[in-house]
A and B are shown apart, each in its own frame.
Chain A
Amino acid sequence: MEASKLISFFEEDLCIFHLRSRKKISALTEIVHHLALQKRISDERFILDMLKNRENLGSTGLGNGVAFPHGRSLAIKELTVLFARSAAGVDFEALDGKPTHVFFLILAPSDKGSETYLAILSELIGLIQKPAKLKALNETVDFPSLVGIFEGKDD
């Protein structure tokens, strides 16, 4: 999947450029509430419970300031990707113990296989391996600049 194709999964309405929460559960709650406000989920509680369970399996905060909360739920109709950024950082219990600044949330419907979100996860994780892209993600404050990161040249 090309980076420019990857951006097609993102929508301006599903970006939070100034996440307020500083702790893991409150950050997930804020993100899920945003999805509900945008009418992308049928029930906040189901999604939040699923994401909490996923974190209990092992933190999705992979380190380098980036987390990838993800999973499948009956409460979501179609593959949904949300971007969130916190300038101050969130204590997301990341694998390297450092604050998390960038979040990519990926939700897939239960009736679809895990491959629907694994491919996107894989591409996003590949993207953040590039230092310039990671730096830009940490600094992005609007949708056009986020699109530019995906469409711009590699390092």
Chain B
Amino acid sequence: MEHFSTPIVHNAPICERYHVMKLGWPPQFAPPLPGQFLTIQPPPGTGALLRRPFAVSDYDPLLSQIEIVYERRGSVTSHLAACRPGESLDILAPLGKAFPEPTGSARPVLLAGGIGMGPMFFLATSLLSRDTNPVLILGARDSTLIPDLPLFERIDTIIATDDGSRGFHGTSIDALHSFEADGNDMNVEYFACGPMPMLQALAVHAEQTSRKCWVSIEQTMGCAVGACMGCVIPVHGGNGYARVCTEGPIFDSQEIAWT
């Protein structure tokens, strides 16, 4: 975990509302892993107080850069969208637990819902470099929220939109069922990030089919380092709650007490 100021090296929209930002990563720091996140101190003038968490969406060891995908939706992200390369941000990273390695020979199936795509891109890139033949299912409300990325050329990608404006007509979970109905349902393991209803539906499916399922959970955070107990989610066992920032954000879906 490091706290540092670092320059923006790239910042551009990738589709309606979603942007990608690359930031310098001091090479002497331990590299971030897929599933981990960072927090950014709200720049002056945003009127915001707490640091904002963002999942790491890529790490380039050659250029010493990390990347986040963010949605422009509040004062901080609107400010970020207007930042230019060269401006610096105050970063705390890398935070939280990473996705585990896929189990044995299981084929990794990566599900991303909406802005949950960020950490799945990082995991996909990482898995591609290790000959694991992953599948990426990317769900969004409509085609305007689907970026076109070089990554999609390198990985089996299924795009699903709620309104059918691009790719499969339905949710990412519907697309998963369709994919598995086509005979791809043998030995798979799920990795997912997206809205809670999507993650819960996947958790139920994983339980019914006795497959491992890892989910990345989003929660409002205070400190993001495990001190404030503010970002918890209900879990089975322990005292009934786990801190998303330090015990997560990656959880075995069966650990979570879904409501």
Genuine A/B complex: no
